[in-house]
Amino acid sequence: MFEHDKDLTSLTTFGIPAKASLFAEYSSEKELLKISRTDEFINNEVLHIGGGSNLLFVNDFNGLVLHSAIRGIERYDKNGETAYAIAGAGVKWTDFVEWCIESGLAGVENLAGIPGEVGAAPVQNVGAYGVEAKDVIFSVKCFDTVTRETKTFKNEECNFGYRDSRFKHEWKGRYIVLQVSFKLTPSTLAANLEYGPLKALESKLGHTPSIREVADEVVAIRNTKLPDPAVTGSAGSFFKNPVVSRYFYEEEMLAVNPDVPCYYVDEHRVKIPAGWLIEHSGLKGLRIGGAMVYPHQCLVIANSGNASASDVTRLADRIIDTVRRKMGITLHPEVNFIDTSMEITILGSGTSKGVPEVGCACKLCRSPYVKDKRLRASALVKTHGMDILIDVSPDFREQALKNGIYQLDAALITHSHYDHMGGIDDLRPFCAEGDFPIYLKEDVLLDLKRRLDYCFREQRYPGVPGFATREVADMPFFINGLKIIPISVMHGKLPILGYRIGDFAYITDAKTLPDEELGKLEGLKVLVVNALRPRKHFAHMSFDEAVEFIGKIKPEEAYLTHFNHEAGFHHDLESKFGPHIHPCYDGLKIRIL
Three-state DSSP state, 466:
coil
Residue 575: burial class (beta carbons within 10 Å; 0-12, 13-18, 19+): exposed
Contact 390, 479 (CB under 8 A): no
Contact 546, 499 (CB under 8 A): no
| Residue 476, phi-psi category: left (phi > 0), alpha (psi -120 to 50), beta (remainder) | beta
Distance CA 426, CA 396 (A): 7
Residues 6+ apart with CB under 8 A from 374: 348, 349, 350, 351, 354, 355, 563, 585, 586
Query: Identity (one letter) of the amino acid at 354?
Result: G
C-alpha pair distances (Å), 476 with each of 92, 412, 499: 32, 13, 10
Cα torsion angle, 397, 401, 402, 406, sign: positive
Distance CA 187, CA 496 (A): 58
C-alpha pair distances (Å), 588 with each of 343, 347, 560: 10, 8, 12
The active-site residue out of 25, 36, 132, 163 is 163
Query: Which H or E run includes 4?
Result: strand 3-7
Contact 485, 522 (CB under 8 A): no
The active-site residue out of 117, 217, 334, 545 is 334
Three-state DSSP state, 268:
coil
Three-state DSSP state, 462:
coil
Distance CA 181, CA 139 (A): 5
Active site residue 103: no
Residue 233: burial class (beta carbons within 10 Å; 0-12, 13-18, 19+): buried
Q: How many helices (H) and strands (E) does the chain have?
A: 15, 35
Residues 6+ apart with CB under 8 A from 204: none
C-alpha pair distances (Å), 167 with each of 23, 64, 161, 312, 522: 22, 19, 11, 26, 29
The active-site residue out of 139, 165, 210, 237 is 237
Cα 356 from chain centre: 36
C-alpha pair distances (Å), 129 with each of 278, 447, 521: 21, 45, 49
Query: Identity (one letter) of the amino acid at 108?
Result: V
Residues 6+ apart with CB under 8 A from 359: none
Q: What are phi and psi of 147, to 5 degrees?
A: -90, -10
Residues 6+ apart with CB under 8 A from 453: none
| Farthest-apart Cα atoms in the chain, separation | 86
Active site residue 163: yes
Give catalytic residues, as residue numbers: 163, 237, 334
